[in-house]
Amino acid sequence: MSSVRDHVLDQYNSRVYKNRKEHVITIGEKESNEVVANTRTIPGIITQRGCCYAGCKGVVLGPIKDALIIVHGPIGCSYYAWGTRRHKAESDVRDGEEAKSYLEYCFSTDMQESDIVFGGEKKLKQAITEAVSIFNPPAIFICSTCPVGLIGDDIHAVAKWAEEEYGIKCIGFSCEGYKGVSQSAGHHIANNQLIRYIIGTGDKKPKKQYSVNILGEYNIGGDGWEVERLLRRCGIEVVSVFTGGTSVRDIKNAHLADLNLVQCHRSINYVADMMYEKYGIDWIKVNFIGTESCRKSLTEIGEYFGDEELKKRIQEVITDEILNNADEMQYLKSKLKGKTAALYVGGSRSHHYQTLLKDFGIRTVLAGYEFAHRDDYEGREVLPDIKPDADSKNIESITVEQDKKYYRVYLTDEQKAALVEKGVKLNYYEGMFKEMEEGSIITDDLNHFETEEFINILKPDVFFSGIKDKFVVQKGGTLCRQLHSYDYSGPYAGFQGAVSFGKDILMGLSTPAWGLVRAPWKKVPVLSATLGGEE
Amino acid sequence: MLDFTTNEIKERSALRVNPAKTCQPVGAMYAALGVHKCLPHSHGSQGCCAFHRMFLTRHFKDPAMASSSSFTEGASVFGGGSNLKVASKNIFDIYKPDIIAVHTTCLSETIGDDLNALITDIEIPEGKYMVHCNTPSYNGSHITGFSNMISGFINYLSVKTDKKSDKVCVFPGFVNPGDMREYKRLLTKLKVPFTMLPDTSGVMDSPMTGKFEMYPKGGTKIDDIKQLGECKNSIALGKFASEPSGEVLKRKCGVEPINLPLPMGVDATDKFIMTLQELSKEEVPSDIEEERGQLVDIMIDIHPYTYGKKVAIYGDPDTVLGIAAFALELGMIPKYMITGTPGGAFERLGKELLNRYAMEDCVVKVESDLFELHQWMKNDPVDLMIGGTHGKAVARAEGIPLVRMGFPIIDRYIHSYQPLVGYRGAIRMAELITNAIMDYQDSHCDEKDLEMVM
């Protein structure tokens, strides 16, 4: 298979080749599957990556429904993040406390030339004043865009002013688009401020005996709601979700949960780590995508709490959910078995969906991440080997100390050791590689050229990617399903979600139009001739 | 839905809520896609390019190919010159366009990158081109960016000459490929030789062939842009998206512009056809006259459903004015006309339209937003909204129909293939509007009042 990789990379000029050869590998080709990730995209290469702002506002903060997010900058940045990511949410009341949803609204300071020249702080303050007067939000987040950092507006000072002036929570996020090398920097910046200013500020204790936070679940298409439903069925309380469908109201109590479940490792691992340091809360890496991985994740949660009754209930729920969907899953598998797939998504779905594809007998021939780090590919054991470069050094990394009031240890060292015996790994993510077959191709920061080339050679039945790729790939005759937005379908999480996913793939592959691409006159010769003497 | 929007209107001077515009670069990217074998290039951080490609793709449901200078913090401090240099080499090497059309972003504008100087320093392969325009996001809107990119092509490529041809340069306005196809059909029917800049038909509505083409068949040819100086006239369709380009072509090459509104509805299309007739000295073909007659016939047929209906129209200035003109011809009341794009002419032209039909109590506002529009609607309701996708929550909150026209429409399919311009486009608008009103009646009337025949 390595010839496939070489065939594609050999077409580059030497400078690009030198860079890309470190990002594209074939699993099993070398002794260690090492990949370079989280480095700059070469200018001019058509990358699918976005910016720091997209990772901070778009991914991590955007779903927090009761925070009114003012994007400080020219109009575009806020406009493009308006309702475009399918992180569903609705206003709700919990223990008598309401969390309203501002997600239908788009707020911006709509900076004009004079604001760039003379500074935008005055306008930002005025915008906050107007937001408070009209919308009366419990919290305001300020997100910076590129020019704000360049002209030196101090959004954090403005946030402090707003807190004093209006008695609300106001937090600044310096997530200028040029920071870092991708959305990843924005995740980190958002994580830092959440742990600094929100987590740990509430005191509503969970009511149930066992409680968790779900980290890195953004409720795309309602995934988070489905996972919450499953956990509730098992009798586990969900204190907060980071950040799909959630609220400041809930996140501020996150430190009172017993365990953190990490779905998307890339975007939220900083919060998981810092909560472990500060509050002693362990985290386990879960994956609620796919029936087998869902079963494994729920079982491990039961093992963590160690309560026999809870474990029994969890197994009952799993059995019931699997049985409920068994016929459909079997049918779908009979149709999809033997197909191949390629995945190129953000920082975790390329891994998560491989397990769901396996449920159907679909093999992954290529996978890559848009903005992951090496640990997302190779596992957290490589963390000590990752040397920070100039770009990552620019992103603040904060350290936290044990919280005097709330730090607590849930499991003793002996209990933890017993868990490890059972195969439950605490505070660890194994990465994508270990589950992948030898010979599969890995492409970090997959670009347009490589997408086309690899698809031509590997000919997967379906390519999972985003909107910018979708029609490129489909024009070439290969089904492309968006795994960022689920093509406006979903939820795909949980046991029922697996069925929806399978149906969507089958629908995509079976659509009659694929058979109509060639016009009939292209299949017959234009001229018909007769031989001499024939009538 | 939109529960925080109340009828109590409070003065806002800084907070933009639910905008009716976006930023310049996306318009520049769209314009550049309308030049054959052109790769638009965003000189800024990756996010801009990603957002704009995403947005155009969601509107057209077709690939929007473009590259980025991928600024990092270093480039933002030291300038993006080397980024652009590396980018241009890689783009010509790997993606092989004939021309790269660079537009700036608020990032590269704020740090003051001098694109003229940077491009002069770049080694461009023989027979290839690199052009640019400035599109600071903190100025104007996507409409401004669209027209700036067109001007960029003219500034770099078009040559002043004494040689004159019969050709006319057509600036189409910020419209869909379906509209551009309709222009071309009408120009051909009226026997007016033309170059249209840009022309996104055949690019953003390209067919399924089983093979992805990075540069589909469509788009204005570079040679044709070079020869724009030979045109006897230009026709600039739309005050905001096209007139500035007409001015640039006049300044650079002395081509006299004819400024017209977007040919939407009867009167504006009549003006367009009359202009073409004057240019070609050809009689208007009978089938065009037949289309016009069909349109007017339809307008009379449907008037019981459209007459007196109040409508809120929002979106891009030229498009809003065009829709409003047709709505008035249908006997509707354009109660509110708003755009987010700045430019005082919008209010003046809107009021002129209203005066022509002696309409009172209607509001025309520039630099407005959908939050403000919604608040007005709470105080003084309308029957119908016309505009892009972003008004759907307002329509749902108020329980009224929304007819999707303009940019962006990211929650429906096929719209970009069909025209709104010309008589045919007006027939389509009439059908969309009438169906929305009649579907609403069917789904909302008392059961006993459900009509079999309407």
Question: Model confidence over A38-95: pLDDT tens digits?
Answer: 999 999 999 999 999 999 999 999 999 999 999 999 999 999 999 999 999 999 999 9
Q: How far is A478 from chain B (nearest CA, A)?
A: 9
Strands B333-338 and B256-260 turn out to be: unpaired
Per-residue pLDDT of A157-201, as tens digits, reads: 999 999 999 999 999 999 999 999 999 999 999 999 999 999 999
Confidence (pLDDT) at A528: 66
* B374 interfacial to chain A (CB closer than 8 Å): no
The 8-class DSSP code of residue A183 comes to T
Nearest residue, CB atoms, A146 vs list B1, B45, B70: B45
CB < 8 Å from B in window 371-410 of A: 390-391, 394
Q: How far is B333 from chain A (nearest CA, A)?
A: 28
Per-residue pLDDT of B371-420, as tens digits, reads: 999 999 999 999 999 999 999 999 999 999 999 999 999 999 999 999 99
- pLDDT greater than 80 at residue A2: no
Per-residue pLDDT of A362-381, as tens digits, reads: 999 999 999 999 999 999 99
CB < 8 Å from B in window 91-110 of A: 91, 100, 102, 104-110
* A478 interfacial to chain B (CB closer than 8 Å): no
Q: How far is B145 from chain A (nearest CA, A)?
A: 12
* pLDDT tier at A532, thresholds 50, 70, 90: low
Ranges of beta strands (E only) in B172-270 are 194-196, 233-237, 256-260
Q: Which residues contact B375 (CB under 8 A, 6 or more apart)?
A: B5, B6, B7, B8, B9
Indicate the angle between helix axes B317-329 and B422-444, nearest 10 degrees.
Answer: 70
Closest CA to B179 of B422, B404, B412: B422
* B9 interfacial to chain A (CB closer than 8 Å): no
Other Cβ atoms closer than 10 A to B254? 12
Per-residue pLDDT of B112-140, as tens digits, reads: 999 999 999 999 999 999 999 999 999 99
CB < 8 Å from A in window 382-441 of B: 390, 393, 410
* B73 interfacial to chain A (CB closer than 8 Å): yes
Q: Which residue of A has its CA nearest to B109?
A: A147
Catalytic positions of A: 51, 54, 85, 187
Tell me, yes or no, if the two domains B24-139 and B286-447 fold the same way.
yes
Nearest residue, CB atoms, B90 vs list A44, A70, A178: A44
Dig out the tokens for A478 from the structure: 């290969």
The residue to which tokens 């529009």 are assigned: B373
CB < 8 Å from B in window 38-77 of A: 40-54, 70, 73-77
CB pairs under 8 A between A and B: 253
Report pTM: 0.97
Nearest residue, CB atoms, B212 vs list A78, A100, A475: A475
The residue to which tokens 């759907």 are assigned: B392
Q: Whole-angstrom Cα distance, residue B284 to residue B277?
A: 7
Q: How far is B109 from chain A (nearest CA, A)?
A: 9
Q: Which residues contact B201 (CB under 8 A, 6 or more apart)?
A: B177, B178, B180, B181, B184, B218
Q: Which residues contact A195 (CB under 8 A, 6 or more apart)?
A: A270, A271, A274, A275, A278, A398, A400
Across the range B419-440, mean pLDDT stands at 98
Q: Which residue of B has its CA nearest to A147?
A: B107
Q: Which residue of B has its CA nearest to A16?
A: B90
Nearest residue, CB atoms, B45 vs list A178, A468, A470: A178
Nearest residue, CB atoms, B47 vs list A53, A104, A513: A53
Q: With 0-12 CB in 10 A as exposed, 13-18 as middle and 19+ as buried, what is A91? A: middle
* A368 interfacial to chain B (CB closer than 8 Å): no
Closest CA to A429 of A230, A215, A277: A215
Q: State in words which class domain A52-197 has.
A: alpha beta
- pLDDT greater than 70 at residue A529: no
Q: Which residue of B has its CA nearest to A107?
A: B17
CA angle, A329 as apex, A323 and A331 as ends, to 5°?
120
Ranges of beta strands (E only) in A76-232 are 92-94, 97-99, 107-108, 139-144, 169-173, 211-217
Q: State in words which class domain B24-139 has.
A: alpha beta
CB A458 within 8 A of CB A340: yes
Helix, strand, coil tally for chain A in percent (to 5):
45, 15, 40
Task: Determine, for residues A106 and B17 on separate chains, whether the beta-carbon distance falls below 8 Å.
Answer: yes
| Amino acid present at B237 | L
Nearest residue, CB atoms, B12 vs list A44, A130, A467: A130
Per-residue pLDDT of A479-507, as tens digits, reads: 999 999 999 999 999 999 999 999 999 99
Across the range B147-168, mean pLDDT stands at 97
User: Max CA-CA distance within chain B?
Assistant: 76
Pick the CATH number of B286-447 from 1.10.8.60, 3.40.50.1980, 3.40.50.720, 3.60.15.10: 3.40.50.1980
Q: How far is B43 from chain A (nearest CA, A)?
A: 10
CB B323 within 8 A of CB B329: no
**What is the percent of chain A where pLDDT is above 70?**
98
Confidence (pLDDT) at A525: 78
CA-to-CA separations, B392 to B410, B411, B435, in angstroms, rounded: 11, 9, 17
Which residues in chain A are closer than 8 Å to B15, comparing Cβ atoms? 70, 107-109, 126-127, 130-131, 134
Q: How far is B112 from chain A (nearest CA, A)?
A: 11
Which residues in chain A are closer than 8 Å to B372, comparing Cβ atoms? none
- pLDDT greater than 50 at residue B439: yes
Q: Domain locations in chain B?
A: 24-139, 168-280, 286-447
Helix, strand, coil tally for chain B in percent (to 5):
50, 15, 40
CB A149 within 8 A of CB A59: no
Q: With 0-12 CB in 10 A as exposed, 13-18 as middle and 19+ as buried, what is A227? A: buried
Q: Which residue of A has its CA nearest to B208?
A: A475
- The answer to whether the peptide bond before residue B198 is cis (omega within 30 degrees of 0) is yes
Q: Which residue of B has its CA nearest to A12?
A: B94
Task: Determine, for residues A468 and B107 on separate chains, whether the beta-carbon distance falls below 8 Å.
Answer: no
Indicate the angle between helix axes A265-279 and A184-197, nearest 10 degrees.
Answer: 30
Task: Determine, for residues B19 and A110 on separate chains, whether the beta-carbon distance falls below 8 Å.
Answer: yes
Indicate the angle between helix axes A308-336 and A494-510, nearest 10 degrees.
Answer: 10
The residue to which tokens 């996306």 are assigned: B26
Which residues in chain B are closer than 8 Å to A182, comparing Cβ atoms? 46
Q: How far is A72 from chain B (nearest CA, A)?
A: 10
- Note the Cα A530 to chain centre separation in Å: 64
Task: Determine, for residues A133 and B10 on separate chains, whether the beta-carbon distance falls below 8 Å.
Answer: yes
| Amino acid present at B133 | C
Across the range A289-314, mean pLDDT stands at 98
Dig out the tokens for B1 from the structure: 């839905």
Report the topology of domain B168-280: Rossmann fold (3.40.50)
Q: Whole-angstrom Cα distance, residue B229 to residue B8?
A: 54
Task: Determine, for residues B106 and A74 on separate chains, whether the beta-carbon distance falls below 8 Å.
Answer: yes
- pLDDT greater than 60 at residue A535: no
Per-residue pLDDT of A390-415, as tens digits, reads: 999 999 999 999 999 999 999 999 99
Dig out the tokens for B61 from the structure: 């449901």
Q: Which residue of A has its CA nearest to B396?
A: A104
- pLDDT greater than 60 at residue A534: no
Which residues in chain A are closer than 8 Å to B21, comparing Cβ atoms? 75, 79
Strand order in the sheet with A237-243: A237-243, A211-217, A259-262, A282-285
* A124 interfacial to chain B (CB closer than 8 Å): yes
Nearest residue, CB atoms, A75 vs list B15, B21, B57: B21
Confidence (pLDDT) at B386: 98
CB A440 within 8 A of CB A26: yes
Q: Domain locations in chain A?
A: 52-197
Per-residue pLDDT of B274-285, as tens digits, reads: 999 999 999 999
Nearest residue, CB atoms, B72 vs list A116, A181, A517: A181
Confidence (pLDDT) at A167: 97
Per-residue pLDDT of A104-122, as tens digits, reads: 999 999 999 999 999 999 9
- pLDDT greater than 90 at residue B176: yes
Nearest residue, CB atoms, B110 vs list A80, A116, A394: A116
Q: Whole-angstrom Cα distance, residue A318 to residue A498?
A: 14
Which residues in chain B are closer than 8 Å to A78, comparing Cβ atoms? 16, 19
* pLDDT tier at A1, thresholds 50, 70, 90: very low
CB < 8 Å from A in window 93-122 of B: 93-95, 105-107, 109-111
Give the containing element (helix H, strand E) for A67: strand A67-72
